[in-house]
Structure 1
């Protein structure tokens, strides 16, 4: 069980980084700041707040 939690703890940041790269690739240049801001807003609310 500890191994699975370790894999989960290692995989979540990689998924989040991949999602951020996808947002950067899909967003127009003039909306990048807003898109990244919304990503970090959702990321901050997701893992530490709802995940605990």
Structure 2
């Protein structure tokens, strides 16, 4: 019977975790400017002034 050697899974090292978290935070903080023409075409919901 021949044993197959399973390849080791690479673990996320403790040194890379802060870098990955920092990059995720930077990506989520990016703002995409909206086209004013698209904003004009959007219908705005009515504003509730009194209940």
TM exceeding 0.5: no
Report the TM-score, using the length of structure 2 for normalisation: 0.37
Q: From the CA coordinates, give the structure whose radius of gyration is larger.
A: 2
Report the TM-score, using the length of structure 1 for normalisation: 0.36
Larger relative helix fraction: 1
